[in-house]
Amino acid sequence: MIRRISPCSDVVPTVTPSIPVSDAAPLKTDIPVRLNVTIIVTQLAAILLCCYAAAHTDRVLSLAGLALAFGILMNSVYSIIHEAEHAMLFPNRRLNDLAGAVMALFFPAPFHLIRQGHLGHHFRNRSDDEAFDLYFEGDHRLWRYLVLYGILTGCYWIVVVLGNVVFLFFPFAADKKYWDFDRPSHAFMESLNPSYRRLIRLECVAVVGLHAAIIYFFHVPLLNYAIMYFGFGFTWSAMQYVHHYGTERHVTRGARNLRLWEPIDRLWLNHNWHLVHHEHPTVPWVHLPALGSTTQTQKRGFILWSYLKMWRGPQKAKEHVENQYAGRVIR
């Protein structure tokens, strides 16, 4: 079992799932605090610069370029959020969660909701509860295609953003009984911790207030804002299953390491070292390349080719893999 020992005695133990993995040597788990602070400050400044640009852009090509740049930037922001989800952004848990919540406002999504979704993903990975590339006897095949192609085209990000509206005005919709038609959604709802509901709703209010303020004070046209943000939404959604498509149906080994372009891989905080992350979910981002280079022989594939392969659609599966953590509520 991997368990990160906090360097500070007053820190709440990590909530990263303790999943069995094999370790031949002690893992480096020191958090690059100063570097993380520098990255966050730079990201916030870049976000505001993009919002300013969106308010002063009226050409189609300029908007397209802004959407692409914003997509690259915000996937880096998500990588910071991801570190916070695993309690690896800052050693102090309160500061870690506060920073994660602030950065998640720009996603825009409530941190304590997407955090539960991501940690649950580490429990459910490649089981029947989260096999988006497969369908089984008795499944609604058309629905399974719609789900996968929704991931590939940015619709998944839209669903996450709409979660702000759902949790603010229709919180009853998070009851698992309404999601029996879709096993992954049912499993996600089942894992949600009810003790976070009030905090999630407060974060949803903050999301709405922040983005209304940005649009108002920067005088950003709504269409420009939507185009800029969908540049992020599309790329983020498209990558959410690319590291898992067609991999071994195993909770930790069911992932792959990919690459895009080294400067972007670094900007995305080594997120494409995804198999390494799933096997060692308590290791901060700075240590993943060295760890992967010494412990794995798997060749890193090109992420765009892996993305294109996903358009083949979900494949029929006969083997069932049960989620051994089913019913477990995220702490």
Is residue 105 one of the residues assigned to a domain?
yes
pTM, to two decimals:
0.92
Is residue 323 one of the residues assigned to a domain?
no
Identify which of 310, 211, 270, 258 has the alpha carbon closest to the alpha carbon of residue 88: 270
Distances (CA, A) of 80 to 62, 92, 269, 308, 321: 27, 15, 8, 26, 31
CB 207 within 8 A of CB 106: no
What is the predicted pLDDT for the residue at 298? Answer: 77
Token pair 């953590």 is at which residue? Answer: 325
Is residue 184 one of the residues assigned to a domain?
yes
Number of separate domains in the chain: 1
Is residue 22 one of the residues assigned to a domain?
no
d(CA 63, CA 65) in angstroms, rounded, equals 5
Per run of 10 residues, the mean pLDDT along the chain (length 331 residues) is: 31 42 68 98 98 95 97 98 98 98 98 98 97 93 96 98 96 92 94 96 98 98 98 97 97 96 97 97 97 86 97 95 93 89
Distances (CA, A) of 261 to 77, 265, 267, 290: 18, 6, 10, 17
Is residue 288 one of the residues assigned to a domain?
yes
CB 166 within 8 A of CB 173: yes
Is residue 326 one of the residues assigned to a domain?
no
Is residue 158 one of the residues assigned to a domain?
yes
Which residues span the domain enclosing 80? 33-316
What is the predicted pLDDT for the residue at 14? Answer: 39
Is residue 111 one of the residues assigned to a domain?
yes
What is the predicted pLDDT for the residue at 299? Answer: 87
d(CA 21, CA 2) in angstroms, rounded, equals 7
